Amino acid sequence: MIVISQMAEAKYDWKLFTKAFEDGQYYMITYSTNKNMFQFIPKRAFNSLEQEAKTRELIVRQLGKIEDTGEGLTRWGLAALTAVLTLVFILCVIGLAVLIALI
């Protein structure tokens, strides 16, 4: 992978990366040495849909499936999980208060 910016140019071996993610604006590729570090590729950097499609094919060929960060818990699913966790927390606090009162 070659990364070029206004300030620098760098060439990376694909072995340096392990996984790829995307959202509506970016491709994010994780480093194998630190899973919390990403190489960001802005989708606006592509000159055409064909260029982006070829890049996507290359990423998939090198790293496997690109995971969509938009999938998973969103909107109602996330709200429901938040409600359940809040309820569990409140019940734990009440249980702890009752336990302390009994002691």
Residue 62: both structure tokens together: 């090198």
For residues 43 and 5, the answer to whether their CB atoms sit within 8 Å is no
pLDDT at residue 94 tops 70:
yes
Q: What confidence score (pLDDT) does residue 33 get?
A: 85
How confident is the prediction for the chain on average, in pLDDT? 87
* More confident call, 37 vs 48: 48
Q: What confidence score (pLDDT) does residue 71 get?
A: 67
Q: Which of 10-24, 35-49, 55-69, 76-90 has the lowest mean pLDDT?
A: 76-90
Q: What is the largest CA-CA distance in the chain?
A: 70
Mean pLDDT throughout 59-87?
82
Distance CA 6, CA 12 (A): 17
What's the burial of 39, exposed, middle or buried (CB within 10 Å: 0-12/13-18/19+)?
Answer: middle
Mean pLDDT throughout 13-24?
91
pLDDT at residue 53 tops 90:
yes
Mean pLDDT throughout 38-67?
93
